[in-house]
Amino acid sequence: MQQANEFFTMGGYGGYVWPAFGVTALIMIWLLAASLRRLRENENLLKQMQATTPRRQAGRAGAEGRAS
Amino acid sequence: MHRFANPGRFLRLSNVILPWIAVLAAGLIAVGLYLALFVSPADYQQGESVRIMYVHVPSAWMAMFIYTVIAAASASSLIWRHPLADLVAKASSPIGACFTFLALVTGSLWGKPMWGTWWVWDARLTSVLVLFFLYLGHMALMGAFDSATRGARAAAILALVGFVNVPIIKFSVEWWSTLHQPASVLRLDGPSIHPSMLWPLLAMGLGFKLYYLALMLVRVKSELIAARLNARAATAAQLS
């Protein structure tokens, strides 16, 4: 208990150390989640479009598609 | 490198290596966190507050590393017109902006107890703040034109001009007097930091680097799909 308490207070610097680790974890996890969500959305949109657009024209357009 | 500039080949390669990079990144960050919080000693001057270093320094390394990647991608986009270079730059700049923000915030949280202030307008802190604005400008320019290619070109020019800031950041602690301490790892005469602090720092640094690589691959893939979606929408509009 004593040891756990010392760990959380960080020798009096807990108020600076934990927010630093916290904000880093928060932003890195948020960025990862947002990027994965966007990939999934785009993949679903592409699937929908492939289902509705005729295959041949779409294939040609896809081959020409450059940076967006 | 030219071989990997082909989007199809890039996607196949990235699908194979992505899971490995992701697992390695998570493992290294887990080990790094354990070493940083439980194993590494407190500093004889700074006490436990020195642990902020293990997130601050890797974030700052990433802020500069990602900008360098963007500048290199921008150069190859402008010179060789690599089809993937613009996408790498576009996918990278929000990640770089996040790491620069983290370097500034964790630095501030470290500066308050050690220097007695959240912020000083000295060369190191100010040049990193400029880097943050360069990232924001890069992101804004990418989306500021109707034509994605024109946006990418404008952003690439900004990235190359702004690259002058990277050596300024690196050497700012030597060229000007500052509160910020000089480099203790990336030095010509080898690291001056004790191994018990160097190893957790390197684990975190490599973990962050692999995290960026994995995230960048995910985002480039996302951009490639978005490009196909746009192309399809354009053909559909032409046909109707």
B229 contacts in A (CB within 8 Å)? 42, 45-46, 49
pLDDT exceeds 70 at position A58: no
Instruction: Establish if B226 belongs to a structural domain.
Output: yes
Cα(B200)–Cα(B40) distance, integer angstroms = 7
Whether A51 has its CB under 8 Å from any CB of chain B: the answer is no
Residue range A14-37: average pLDDT? 95
Q: Residue B189's pLDDT is what?
A: 77
Instruction: Establish if B8 belongs to a structural domain.
Output: no
- Answer yes or no: do B49 and A16 touch at CB < 8 A: yes
Mean pLDDT per 10-residue interval, chain B, length 240 residues: 69 92 96 91 85 95 97 95 90 97 96 90 93 97 88 94 92 83 79 86 96 96 90 79
Instruction: Establish if B238 belongs to a structural domain.
Output: no
Instruction: Establish if B240 belongs to a structural domain.
Output: no
Nearest chain B residue to A9, by CA: B48
B98 contacts in A (CB within 8 Å)? 27-28, 31
Angle between helices B53-80 and B148-162 (to 10 degrees): 120
pLDDT exceeds 70 at position A22: yes
**Closest Cβ opposite residue A35 in set B148, B222, B230:** B222
Nearest chain B residue to A17, by CA: B52
**Interface test with chain A among B98, B115, B222, by most A beta carbons within 10 Å:** B222
- Answer yes or no: do A67 and B49 touch at CB < 8 A: no
Instruction: Establish if B191 belongs to a structural domain.
Output: no
Instruction: Establish if B3 belongs to a structural domain.
Output: no
Question: Token pair of B108, please?
Answer: 């501030």
Percentage above 70 pLDDT, chain A: 75
DSSP string, B189-200: T---S-HHHHHH
In this structure, are residues B21 and B210 in contact, taking their beta carbons and an 8 Å threshold? yes
Higher pLDDT, A15 or A39: A39
Q: Residue B3's pLDDT is what?
A: 54
3-state secondary structure B78-103: HHHCCCCHHHHHHHHHHHHHHHHHHH
**Closest Cβ opposite residue B83 in set A10, A45, A66:** A66
Question: Token pair of A5, please?
Answer: 């308490």
Q: Which residues pair with B47 in a beta bridge?
A: B43
Average pLDDT of chain A is 80
Instruction: Establish if B189 belongs to a structural domain.
Output: no
Query: Domain range spanning residue B115?
Result: 16-41+49-179+198-233
**Interface test with chain A among B215, B225, B239, by most A beta carbons within 10 Å:** B225
Domains in chain B, number: 1
CATH of the domain at B166: 1.20.120
Predicted ipTM > 0.95: no
A68 contacts in B (CB within 8 Å)? 148, 223, 226-227, 230
Instruction: Establish if B97 belongs to a structural domain.
Output: yes
Phi and psi torsions of B43, nearest 5°: -75, 145
